[in-house]
Protein backbone atom coordinates (compact mmCIF):
# COMPACT_ATOMS: atom_id res chain seq x y z
CA UNK A 1 0.00 0.00 0.00
CA UNK A 2 2.93 2.35 0.72
CA UNK A 3 4.21 1.83 -2.84
CA UNK A 4 0.75 2.69 -4.18
CA UNK A 5 0.71 5.97 -2.26
CA UNK A 6 4.22 6.93 -3.42
CA UNK A 7 3.36 6.20 -7.06
CA UNK A 8 0.12 8.20 -6.81
CA UNK A 9 1.86 11.24 -5.29
CA UNK A 10 4.58 11.12 -7.96
CA UNK A 11 1.87 10.96 -10.62
CA UNK A 12 0.22 14.03 -9.07
CA UNK A 13 3.54 15.90 -9.17
CA UNK A 14 4.04 14.95 -12.82
CA UNK A 15 0.47 16.03 -13.69
CA UNK A 16 0.92 19.36 -11.92
CA UNK A 17 4.17 20.02 -13.76
CA UNK A 18 2.54 19.10 -17.06
CA UNK A 19 -0.42 21.41 -16.43
CA UNK A 20 1.80 24.40 -15.77
CA UNK A 21 4.19 23.71 -18.65
CA UNK A 22 1.38 23.19 -21.13
CA UNK A 23 -0.48 26.25 -19.88
CA UNK A 24 2.68 28.31 -20.35
CA UNK A 25 3.16 26.91 -23.84
CA UNK A 26 -0.51 27.38 -24.78
CA UNK A 27 -0.48 30.95 -23.49
CA UNK A 28 2.61 31.77 -25.54
CA UNK A 29 0.81 30.44 -28.62
CA UNK A 30 -2.66 31.78 -27.71
CA UNK A 31 -4.58 33.09 -30.72
CA UNK A 32 -8.21 32.72 -29.58
CA UNK A 33 -8.86 29.58 -31.62
CA UNK A 34 -9.97 26.19 -30.36
CA UNK A 35 -7.66 23.23 -30.61
CA UNK A 36 -7.12 22.00 -34.19
CA UNK A 37 -4.41 20.38 -36.28
CA UNK A 38 -3.04 23.83 -37.07
CA UNK A 39 -2.84 24.95 -33.46
CA UNK A 40 -1.31 21.62 -32.47
CA UNK A 41 1.35 22.18 -35.12
CA UNK A 42 2.18 25.59 -33.67
CA UNK A 43 2.21 24.24 -30.11
CA UNK A 44 4.52 21.40 -31.18
CA UNK A 45 7.20 24.03 -31.83
CA UNK A 46 7.06 25.31 -28.25
CA UNK A 47 9.59 23.76 -25.86
CA UNK A 48 7.40 24.30 -22.79
CA UNK A 49 4.41 22.61 -24.41
CA UNK A 50 6.51 19.65 -25.59
CA UNK A 51 7.96 19.27 -22.10
CA UNK A 52 4.41 19.26 -20.76
CA UNK A 53 3.42 16.46 -23.16
CA UNK A 54 6.41 14.37 -22.05
CA UNK A 55 5.50 14.97 -18.41
CA UNK A 56 1.88 13.96 -19.06
CA UNK A 57 3.11 10.62 -20.41
CA UNK A 58 5.31 10.19 -17.34
CA UNK A 59 2.36 10.91 -15.06
CA UNK A 60 0.21 8.43 -16.99
CA UNK A 61 2.79 5.66 -16.54
CA UNK A 62 3.07 6.41 -12.81
CA UNK A 63 -0.71 6.47 -12.44
CA UNK A 64 -1.06 3.16 -14.30
CA UNK A 65 1.57 1.61 -12.05
CA UNK A 66 -0.33 2.85 -8.99
CA UNK A 67 -3.64 1.49 -10.32
CA UNK A 68 -1.97 -1.87 -10.83
CA UNK A 69 -1.07 -2.03 -7.13
CA UNK A 70 -4.08 -0.52 -5.33
CA UNK A 71 -7.78 0.46 -5.50
CA UNK A 72 -8.92 3.35 -7.66
CA UNK A 73 -10.79 4.85 -4.67
CA UNK A 74 -7.43 5.37 -2.94
CA UNK A 75 -5.28 6.45 -5.88
CA UNK A 76 -7.46 9.05 -7.58
CA UNK A 77 -8.24 11.09 -4.42
CA UNK A 78 -4.48 11.28 -3.80
CA UNK A 79 -4.15 12.97 -7.17
CA UNK A 80 -6.05 15.96 -5.73
CA UNK A 81 -2.67 16.99 -4.28
CA UNK A 82 -1.96 18.01 -7.87
CA UNK A 83 -3.94 21.22 -7.29
CA UNK A 84 -1.67 22.53 -4.53
CA UNK A 85 1.41 21.50 -6.48
CA UNK A 86 0.09 23.24 -9.58
CA UNK A 87 -0.47 26.51 -7.73
CA UNK A 88 3.02 26.44 -6.27
CA UNK A 89 4.62 25.62 -9.62
CA UNK A 90 2.54 28.25 -11.43
CA UNK A 91 3.83 30.91 -9.04
CA UNK A 92 7.30 30.23 -10.45
CA UNK A 93 6.62 29.52 -14.12
CA UNK A 94 3.58 31.73 -14.76
CA UNK A 95 4.71 34.56 -12.46
CA UNK A 96 1.61 34.58 -10.27
CA UNK A 97 1.67 35.44 -6.58
CA UNK A 98 0.02 33.19 -4.03
CA UNK A 99 -1.60 35.08 -1.18
CA UNK A 100 -2.53 33.86 2.29
CA UNK A 101 -5.97 33.05 0.87
CA UNK A 102 -4.55 30.54 -1.60
CA UNK A 103 -2.12 29.02 0.90
CA UNK A 104 -4.90 28.52 3.46
CA UNK A 105 -7.09 26.92 0.78
CA UNK A 106 -4.30 24.53 -0.20
CA UNK A 107 -3.72 23.61 3.44
CA UNK A 108 -7.45 23.08 4.04
CA UNK A 109 -7.72 20.97 0.90
CA UNK A 110 -4.81 18.79 2.02
CA UNK A 111 -6.52 18.25 5.37
CA UNK A 112 -9.75 17.37 3.56
CA UNK A 113 -7.98 14.79 1.42
CA UNK A 114 -6.40 13.18 4.47
CA UNK A 115 -9.72 13.06 6.33
CA UNK A 116 -11.52 11.68 3.28
CA UNK A 117 -9.02 8.87 2.75
CA UNK A 118 -8.88 7.91 6.43
CA UNK A 119 -12.68 7.83 6.54
CA UNK A 120 -13.00 5.88 3.29
CA UNK A 121 -10.23 3.36 4.01
CA UNK A 122 -10.87 1.76 0.61
CA UNK A 123 -10.11 -1.85 -0.24
CA UNK A 124 -9.65 -3.42 -3.64
CA UNK A 125 -12.57 -4.78 -5.61
CA UNK A 126 -12.69 -7.32 -8.43
CA UNK A 127 -12.18 -5.39 -11.64
CA UNK A 128 -11.81 -8.55 -13.70
CA UNK A 129 -15.27 -9.76 -12.67
CA UNK A 130 -17.20 -6.66 -13.78
CA UNK A 131 -19.80 -7.61 -16.44
CA UNK A 132 -19.73 -5.79 -19.75
CA UNK A 133 -23.22 -4.38 -19.12
CA UNK A 134 -21.95 -2.55 -16.02
CA UNK A 135 -19.04 -1.14 -18.02
CA UNK A 136 -21.38 0.09 -20.76
CA UNK A 137 -23.88 1.65 -18.35
CA UNK A 138 -21.16 3.42 -16.38
CA UNK A 139 -19.53 4.70 -19.58
CA UNK A 140 -22.84 5.94 -21.00
CA UNK A 141 -23.73 7.93 -17.87
CA UNK A 142 -20.25 9.40 -17.48
CA UNK A 143 -19.87 10.44 -21.12
CA UNK A 144 -23.38 11.95 -21.22
CA UNK A 145 -22.55 14.25 -18.29
CA UNK A 146 -19.20 15.17 -19.84
CA UNK A 147 -20.83 16.02 -23.16
CA UNK A 148 -23.39 18.25 -21.42
CA UNK A 149 -20.67 20.16 -19.56
CA UNK A 150 -18.68 20.73 -22.75
CA UNK A 151 -21.78 21.98 -24.59
CA UNK A 152 -22.56 24.44 -21.78
CA UNK A 153 -18.94 25.56 -21.53
CA UNK A 154 -18.78 26.54 -25.19
CA UNK A 155 -21.60 29.01 -24.67
CA UNK A 156 -19.17 31.15 -22.68
CA UNK A 157 -15.71 32.63 -22.93
CA UNK A 158 -13.02 33.08 -20.34
CA UNK A 159 -13.38 31.93 -16.75
CA UNK A 160 -16.77 30.22 -17.11
CA UNK A 161 -15.69 28.23 -20.17
CA UNK A 162 -12.46 27.20 -18.43
CA UNK A 163 -14.40 26.13 -15.33
CA UNK A 164 -16.91 23.98 -17.24
CA UNK A 165 -14.25 22.42 -19.42
CA UNK A 166 -12.11 21.83 -16.33
CA UNK A 167 -14.86 19.75 -14.70
CA UNK A 168 -15.50 17.90 -17.98
CA UNK A 169 -11.80 17.14 -18.38
CA UNK A 170 -11.53 15.95 -14.78
CA UNK A 171 -14.48 13.60 -15.26
CA UNK A 172 -13.02 12.36 -18.52
CA UNK A 173 -9.70 11.49 -16.89
CA UNK A 174 -11.55 9.78 -14.05
CA UNK A 175 -13.25 7.63 -16.70
CA UNK A 176 -9.87 7.01 -18.31
CA UNK A 177 -8.52 5.88 -14.93
CA UNK A 178 -11.35 3.34 -14.72
CA UNK A 179 -10.37 1.96 -18.13
CA UNK A 180 -6.71 1.83 -17.09
CA UNK A 181 -7.75 -0.12 -13.99
CA UNK A 182 -9.39 -2.67 -16.25
CA UNK A 183 -6.30 -2.79 -18.44
CA UNK A 184 -3.84 -3.23 -15.56
CA UNK A 185 -6.07 -5.89 -13.95
CA UNK A 186 -5.49 -7.97 -17.09
CA UNK A 187 -1.81 -8.26 -16.13
CA UNK A 188 -2.92 -11.14 -13.89
CA UNK A 189 -3.14 -13.19 -17.11
CA UNK A 190 0.25 -12.03 -18.39
CA UNK A 191 1.08 -9.70 -21.25
CA UNK A 192 -1.24 -11.69 -23.50
CA UNK A 193 -4.10 -10.86 -21.19
CA UNK A 194 -3.38 -7.14 -21.56
CA UNK A 195 -3.47 -7.30 -25.36
CA UNK A 196 -6.60 -9.42 -25.17
CA UNK A 197 -8.45 -6.96 -22.90
CA UNK A 198 -10.85 -4.60 -24.67
CA UNK A 199 -10.02 -1.88 -22.13
CA UNK A 200 -6.50 -1.66 -23.59
CA UNK A 201 -7.87 -0.59 -26.97
CA UNK A 202 -10.45 1.68 -25.35
CA UNK A 203 -7.59 3.51 -23.62
CA UNK A 204 -5.92 4.04 -27.01
CA UNK A 205 -9.09 5.82 -28.20
CA UNK A 206 -10.11 7.62 -25.01
CA UNK A 207 -6.60 8.84 -24.15
CA UNK A 208 -5.97 11.05 -27.23
CA UNK A 209 -9.50 12.46 -27.04
CA UNK A 210 -8.90 13.45 -23.42
CA UNK A 211 -5.62 15.04 -24.47
CA UNK A 212 -7.42 17.27 -26.99
CA UNK A 213 -10.08 18.17 -24.42
CA UNK A 214 -7.32 19.11 -21.98
CA UNK A 215 -5.68 21.40 -24.56
CA UNK A 216 -8.95 23.24 -25.12
CA UNK A 217 -9.38 23.51 -21.36
CA UNK A 218 -5.93 25.03 -20.90
CA UNK A 219 -6.53 27.52 -23.72
CA UNK A 220 -10.00 28.52 -22.50
CA UNK A 221 -8.90 30.75 -19.62
CA UNK A 222 -7.02 31.07 -16.36
CA UNK A 223 -5.18 28.02 -15.07
CA UNK A 224 -6.66 28.55 -11.61
CA UNK A 225 -10.16 28.67 -13.13
CA UNK A 226 -9.85 25.29 -14.83
CA UNK A 227 -7.56 23.43 -12.44
CA UNK A 228 -9.94 22.97 -9.45
CA UNK A 229 -12.58 21.21 -11.54
CA UNK A 230 -9.94 19.35 -13.52
CA UNK A 231 -8.39 18.03 -10.33
CA UNK A 232 -11.45 17.38 -8.15
CA UNK A 233 -13.88 15.86 -10.65
CA UNK A 234 -11.37 13.11 -11.37
CA UNK A 235 -11.45 11.44 -7.92
CA UNK A 236 -15.20 11.92 -7.52
CA UNK A 237 -15.87 10.02 -10.75
CA UNK A 238 -13.25 7.42 -9.82
CA UNK A 239 -14.79 6.81 -6.39
CA UNK A 240 -18.16 6.36 -8.08
CA UNK A 241 -16.69 3.83 -10.49
CA UNK A 242 -14.76 2.06 -7.74
CA UNK A 243 -17.77 1.59 -5.47
CA UNK A 244 -20.63 1.24 -7.94
CA UNK A 245 -18.90 -0.69 -10.73
CA UNK A 246 -15.76 -2.35 -9.37
CA UNK A 247 -17.24 -3.37 -6.02
CA UNK A 248 -14.52 -1.71 -3.94
CA UNK A 249 -15.42 -1.41 -0.26
CA UNK A 250 -15.34 1.77 1.83
CA UNK A 251 -16.15 2.29 5.49
CA UNK A 252 -19.74 3.01 6.48
CA UNK A 253 -21.46 3.86 9.74
CA UNK A 254 -19.99 6.76 11.65
CA UNK A 255 -17.16 7.06 9.11
CA UNK A 256 -19.63 8.53 6.63
CA UNK A 257 -19.61 11.75 8.66
CA UNK A 258 -15.84 11.99 8.20
CA UNK A 259 -16.23 11.35 4.48
CA UNK A 260 -18.83 14.11 4.16
CA UNK A 261 -16.75 16.58 6.18
CA UNK A 262 -13.61 15.77 4.18
CA UNK A 263 -15.44 16.19 0.87
CA UNK A 264 -17.07 19.42 2.09
CA UNK A 265 -13.70 20.81 3.16
CA UNK A 266 -12.25 20.03 -0.25
CA UNK A 267 -15.25 21.64 -1.98
CA UNK A 268 -15.12 24.75 0.24
CA UNK A 269 -11.42 25.25 -0.42
CA UNK A 270 -12.04 24.78 -4.13
CA UNK A 271 -14.71 27.50 -4.09
CA UNK A 272 -12.27 29.74 -2.23
CA UNK A 273 -9.79 29.27 -5.04
CA UNK A 274 -12.42 29.77 -7.74
CA UNK A 275 -13.25 33.19 -6.25
CA UNK A 276 -9.61 34.12 -5.91
CA UNK A 277 -8.37 37.35 -7.54
CA UNK A 278 -5.90 35.12 -9.36
CA UNK A 279 -8.77 34.20 -11.68
CA UNK A 280 -8.40 37.70 -13.10
CA UNK A 281 -5.38 39.19 -14.75
CA UNK A 282 -2.23 39.91 -12.80
CA UNK A 283 -3.59 43.33 -12.00
CA UNK A 284 -6.76 41.86 -10.62
CA UNK A 285 -8.91 43.24 -13.43
CA UNK A 286 -10.53 40.93 -15.95
CA UNK A 287 -8.83 40.91 -19.28
CA UNK A 288 -10.63 40.73 -22.58
CA UNK A 289 -10.17 36.99 -22.83
CA UNK A 290 -11.36 36.45 -19.26
CA UNK A 291 -14.77 38.13 -19.41
CA UNK A 292 -17.59 35.69 -18.72
CA UNK A 293 -20.16 36.19 -21.45
CA UNK A 294 -22.03 33.98 -23.88
CA UNK A 295 -19.89 33.02 -26.89
CA UNK A 296 -22.87 33.81 -29.17
CA UNK A 297 -25.91 36.10 -28.76
CA UNK A 298 -28.75 34.47 -26.77
CA UNK A 299 -30.96 32.28 -28.91
CA UNK A 300 -28.27 31.36 -31.41
CA UNK A 301 -26.48 27.98 -31.36
CA UNK A 302 -23.13 28.19 -29.64
Alpha carbon separation from 207 to 60, 201, 202 (Å, rounded): 10, 10, 8
Torsion of CA 34, 145, 57, 84, to 10 degrees: 90
pLDDT of 33 over the 70 cut: no
- Tens digits of residue pLDDT in 225-252: 787 788 788 888 999 999 999 999 988 8
- Tens digits of residue pLDDT in 65-80: 998 888 999 998 888 8
Residue 43 binned pLDDT confidence (cut-offs 50, 70, 90): low
Torsion of CA 86, 214, 270, 77, to 10 degrees: -80
Q: Mean pLDDT of all residues in the chain?
A: 80
pLDDT of 30 over the 60 cut: no
Residue 29 binned pLDDT confidence (cut-offs 50, 70, 90): low
208-211 own/partner pairs: CB under 8 Å, 24+ apart: 209/172, 210/169, 210/172, 210/173, 210/176, 211/56
252 vs 143: which has the higher pLDDT: 143
88 exposure class (CB count in 10 Å sphere: 0-12, 13-18, 19+):
middle
Residue 41 binned pLDDT confidence (cut-offs 50, 70, 90): low
Amino acid sequence: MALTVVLAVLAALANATASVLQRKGARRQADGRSMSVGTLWHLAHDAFWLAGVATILTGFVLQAAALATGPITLIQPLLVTELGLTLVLSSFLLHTRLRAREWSAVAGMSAGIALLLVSLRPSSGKVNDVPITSWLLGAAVTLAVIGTLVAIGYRYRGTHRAAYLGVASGMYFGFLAALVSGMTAAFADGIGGVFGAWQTYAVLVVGPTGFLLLQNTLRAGSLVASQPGLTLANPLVSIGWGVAVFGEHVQGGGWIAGQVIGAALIAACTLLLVRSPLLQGESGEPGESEVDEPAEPPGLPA
